[in-house]
Structure 1
Amino acid sequence: LRDLPFIGAIDAVGKLDELMSFIAYAKATPHPTALPQITRDTPHYFLAKDMTNTIQSKNNPSYVPNDVNLVDAKLTLITGPNSGGKTTFCKTVVQEQLKGQIGCYVNASRAKMAIADRRFSIQQLPKV
């Protein structure tokens, strides 16, 4: 089992399986998907057109896609009415950033992002 060529072959099969799962995911998603363009223009860069949340949009035919422009945005405040989708929007940005950084398709018609070393989302905890 310590045979280096064997370990290398197993590693290659695992990477191939990962890439194939990304393609299967993109084909199974009912909304547009795209491989994001990665930029080094600025460390604070996330741009997406028609971004959707994978889970929310699958179960809700009236789900409205969002355009996101977080270019040079070191701090962004999301405001809106109660039950207006702020939490879902913030979670979606983080999910799509993560998916894009690992090489997966993102749920958007097009996307461009910088590699982020962290994303923060502050949410109110339910009262107990």
Structure 2
Amino acid sequence: MSTGSVAQQWRAPWDVLQRLNAAEDRFLGSIALNQATMLAAADELQAATTDATTWLKAHPCPDEGLAGHVDLLLQACTEVARTAQLATTEPWADTRLAMVRLGRLLGLVDYHLHALQEGQR
């Protein structure tokens, strides 16, 4: 399959991934605000991740390389949401360690989003 046809087939899924990207952007902005805002943004990210996962199971990526990035992106987003939810709701959570973990996970999210954007070109 040519690169052009893969890019054309991935125009519709890109809308699904854009919603995920927007939720991640809002999550990033929420970190500096307060725990309630961060929790709400984590819940939105979790919902966007679940929606994207469901949609992509019904419409698999035709390119194995891109599919790998999508899978790892969704896994990282799931972990971002879960880590933030635990950090803001559980009294035993170590906030400093959670923030370190979130930073690393968000780096993975950015890496895979960038790889997918490059695959679109």
TM over 0.5: no
Q: Which has the higher strand share?
A: 1
Higher relative contact order (CA 8 A, sep 6+): 1
User: Scaled by the length of structure 2, what TM-score is found?
Assistant: 0.31
Name the structure where helix makes up a greater proportion of residues. 2
> Which protein has the larger Cα radius of gyration, Structure 1 or Structure 2?
1
